[in-house]
Amino acid sequence: MAKTDNSKLEEKLIIRREVIDKIGKQEINVVELYAGRSVMWGILSDEYKGRVKINLLSIEKERGKNPRALCGDNMKFIRGIDLNRFDIVDVDAYGIPSQQLLAIKRQDYKGWIIVTAIQSMFGKLPTDVLMANGMTQAMLQKVSAIFTKGGLQYIKNFMYTLGSRRIRGFFEDRKYYFYTRFEV
Amino acid sequence: MAEEKVLNIEELQQDDKNFNAGTEEGQRMMEKSFSELGAGRSILIDKNGKIIAGNKSQQAAIAAGIKKVRVIETTGDELVAVKRTDVDLDSVEGRKLALADNATQVVNLAWDEVQLESVRDELEGFNPSDFGVDLPDLDPEPKEKKEPQTKELRPFATNHILLSYPIDLHDRVMQAVEQLRELEGMEIETSAN
């Protein structure tokens, strides 16, 4: 059976609930960089109604997909928004959002980051991630296609270089759903 | 004989309930394919000019600078073949087109479960599982408790060496590589140009 793109909805909701509970506030601010139709945060807002007020700022690249979202390139919005106003930055990407994570780090963001990172069909990892793992430009130019194995270790090392010291979530073959914060 | 006309590509309307949300990578691949190889497979529209299949193709084609669409009218009793008179399958371009056609479909497919579910609820007799598409359960209560794992991150200490050598040395180098492979934690990938 083919699975829908949100077939890991349950796992994604579990880690978001954990983060909401960890924050422990009655009102939280969330920015989602890949909003889609805000399915997850819609479910969570209903679920936490009366206990936690969730203020959501949604960003979606595709016009017309989510009428409540800001439409455009999330990198531009990240540069223009003070992320530290938000308790959670939700980076539910289809791919590996290394540029977004670097931009979040550049703001010295102190809150929680929830990440979906999925290696593509060909498994190639972003240059940022490989260089954070010690590869050089010269190596990548010659053999970029072969750095496709052990993706989770590369992602873990990349997160470490950004200042994360632990990640918690679900880790499957080439699909990683986790949350963390930059501690350093 | 099928009716034929040429329209501005932007006259075709997107499906506001498109079941495929698409992916950024898939869209990039489609735009690259259109830019480098031109248009290949046709898209499908309904009698009102609304796109049944190929919403993402229309977007990628527009992004690649394609302005017109040739519309062939049929009632489903014949297959419409697009003939590329400038392409031989057994050429680099032909094989690239064949690869791009299949690869973009795989990479650009991301089912939009909200649209699938909403159309299933609206239209009696429409069930995505008839075509093997299994909708997730949007019930927020998990049926079985799944437990996330915590992974402690540590500084990594890995050194990388890229070896390039003349092919004449291959046997000697591979002997040395095979010895290195026995060391725990060693990762070796080989490749040739």
pLDDT tens profile B138-183: 544 545 678 999 999 988 777 778 888 888 999 999 999 999 989 9
Substitution target in B111, B156, B159, B191 with the highest count of A β-carbons within 10 Å is B156
For residue B38, pLDDT over 60 is answered with yes
- With DSSP H G I counted as helix, E B as strand and the rest as coil, what are the percentages for chain B, rounded to 5? 35, 15, 50
Q: Is residue B128 part of a domain?
A: yes
B61 touches A: beta carbon within 8 Å: no
Task: Identify the CA nearest to B186 among candidates B97, B178, A161, B124.
Answer: B178
**Residue B175 token pair:** 């002997």
B21 touches A: beta carbon within 8 Å: yes
Structural domain tally of chain B?
2
Q: Residue A94 has what pLDDT?
A: 78
**Residue A52 token pair:** 């936690």
Q: Residue A150 has what pLDDT?
A: 66
Mean pLDDT, chain A, as a whole number? 87
CB-CB under 8 Å, B156 with A133: yes
Q: Which residue has the higher pLDDT, A87 or B77?
A: A87
Model ipTM? 0.76
For residue A49, pLDDT over 80 is answered with yes
Same domain, B134 and B177: yes
CB-CB under 8 Å, A47 with B140: yes
Mean pLDDT, chain B, as a whole number? 85
Q: Which residue has the higher pLDDT, B125 or A112?
A: A112
CB-CB under 8 Å, A10 with B142: yes
Same domain, B90 and B118: no
Q: Is residue B187 part of a domain?
A: no
Q: Residue B91 has what pLDDT?
A: 92
For residue A97, pLDDT over 80 is answered with yes
B 64-103 → A contacts, CB under 8 A: 103
What is the mean pLDDT of the segment spanning B18-33?
Answer: 84
* Least-confidence region, from A97-111, A138-152, B5-19: A138-152
Q: Which residues from B are below 8 Å from A169, CB to CB?
A: 148-149
Query: Got the DSSP string for A6-47?
Result: TTTHHHHHHHHHHHHHHH--SEEEEEESS-TT-HHHHHHHHH
For residue A142, pLDDT over 70 is answered with no
Same domain, B10 and B66: yes
What is the mean pLDDT of the segment spanning B52-69?
Answer: 90
Q: Is residue B192 part of a domain?
A: no
Q: Residue A2 has what pLDDT?
A: 37
For residue B83, pLDDT over 80 is answered with yes
For residue A165, pLDDT over 90 is answered with yes
Same domain, B170 and B129: yes
For residue A121, pLDDT over 60 is answered with no
Q: Is residue B27 part of a domain?
A: yes
Q: Residue B110 has what pLDDT?
A: 80
Q: Which residues from B are below 8 Å from A1, CB to CB?
A: 129, 132-134
Instruction: Select from B90, B107, B124 the last residue of a domain.
Output: B107
pLDDT digits (tens, 9 = 90+) for A11-42: 999 999 999 999 999 999 999 999 988 989 99
Same domain, B170 and B79: no
Picking from B24, B112, B132, the nearest residue to A2 by CB comes out as B132
**Residue B43 token pair:** 């898209």
pLDDT digits (tens, 9 = 90+) for A60-78: 988 877 888 999 999 999 9
Q: Is residue B191 part of a domain?
A: no
What is the mean pLDDT of the segment spanning B91-112?
Answer: 87
For residue B52, pLDDT over 80 is answered with yes
Same domain, B81 and B164: no
d(CA B26, CA B60): 10
Q: What is the CA angle A168-A173-A178, rounded to 5?
A: 20
Q: Which residue has the higher pLDDT, B192 or A85?
A: A85
Sign, CA dihedral A147-A150-A155-A160, equals negative
Q: Residue A1 has what pLDDT?
A: 31
Q: Which residues from A are below 8 Å from B155, CB to CB?
A: 160
B 133-162 → A contacts, CB under 8 A: 133-138, 140, 142, 146, 148-156, 158-160, 162
Same domain, B73 and B42: yes
Domain encompassing residue B54: 4-107
Q: Which residue has the higher pLDDT, A88 or B65?
A: A88
Q: Residue B95 has what pLDDT?
A: 92
Containing H/E element for B70? strand B68-73
Substitution target in A5, A113, A160 with the highest count of B β-carbons within 10 Å is A5
